[in-house]
Amino acid sequence: MKIIVNAEPREVTNETLEDALTELEFTSPAIATALNGSFVPREDYSETSLSEGDRLEVLAPMQGG
């Protein structure tokens, strides 16, 4: 299915947020996600279903100075 990830169209085969994040190689434990504008807690990833056209934002902390 096609979803929008960080403003870029992406194709994913997995239907849960947890599996899609792994498929998209977002494997760091230090990420935050929002699905269609709503924050999704990490403990809900495995129960959160994705649908065609969903908008997923994945945020990760940046290091630097």
Check if the beta carbon of residue 6 is closer than 8 Å to that of residue 26: no
Q: What is the pLDDT of residues 15-53, one digit of tens each?
A: 999 999 999 999 888 999 999 999 999 999 999 999 999
Supply the pTM of this predicted model.
Answer: 0.90
If you count them, how many residues does the chain have?
Answer: 65
Angle ∠(16,22,50) on CA atoms, nearest 5 = 20
Whole-angstrom distance, CA of residue 55 vs CA of residue 10: 10
Asked whether residue 65 carries a pLDDT value surpassing 70, the answer given is: no
Query: DSSP assignment, residue 50?
Result: P
